[in-house]
Amino acid sequence: MKGESITFLGAFILGLAHTLEPCEDKAVVSLFIMWAAKRLREGMILVTLYGLGMTLIDTVLGAISAYLGASFLTEYGPVLRIAAGAITALFGLYVFVGGEAAHLLHHHGEASPQETSSEAPRALSIFALGLVRGLPPCPFELAILAWAASLGSIWRGTLTVFVFGLGTTIGLIPLGLVMGGLAGAVGKSRYRFWIPKICGAIMMVMGVFLALSH
């Protein structure tokens, strides 16, 4: 039991550190989410949903890796990377052309009935983006998945990856607060209309790079 506690604690700490990894788009997504949110509380909920989406898909991959072994990542990693890259690029294009622009202009005001009715679909889209972004394992995730595969137990491997995902999700909360402050400052400037364009463009570039990388 003591060994398991140390394993889970290590996985949780790695999850927290994963939030700071520069190769991920977590900061870009968090900035866009906090910009699109009408209230800080809504933004933090959406950021958390994004993290939970990544946690869910990472846990599924962890269960598969614990069952099939690390060879699963070598065999199917390129397919997951291409699929995730393509969907990320499409989401970036959606953001760039103004899929959320109608809501961005109202994030400092009161929500209208139409805006309120859009919160559930928006939450689902952010959660789905977290699922997609969790598909291609980054170096941190590769390490934790390989660790899960080496534990010799499906449930321990799966739970280890799940705890890792929870650490990442919790780490996203302070990142979201920082991005919320940045979004609030930019929202009061003349550059506020550039946020969805910049975020969308970065997501498109990252999606294409991810899909074409080897």
Average pLDDT of the chain is 75
- Only one residue has tokens 């968090």, namely 30
CB 53 within 8 A of CB 131: yes
User: Would you say residue 121 has pLDDT above 70?
Assistant: no
What are the tens digits of pLDDT across the range 144-167?
Answer: 888 888 887 888 889 999 999 999
- The structure's pTM equals 0.69
Q: How many CB atoms lie within 10 A of CB 204?
A: 19
138 by DSSP, 3-state: which? coil
What are the tens digits of pLDDT across the range 64-113?
Answer: 888 887 666 667 767 777 877 787 788 778 777 765 444 444 444 444 44
Write out the two tokens for 104: 């961005």
133 by DSSP, 3-state: which? helix
Q: Is 185 exposed, middle or buried (0-12, 13-18, 19+ CB in 10 A)?
A: exposed
- Most distant CA atoms of the chain, gap in Å: 57
| Residues recorded for the chain | 214
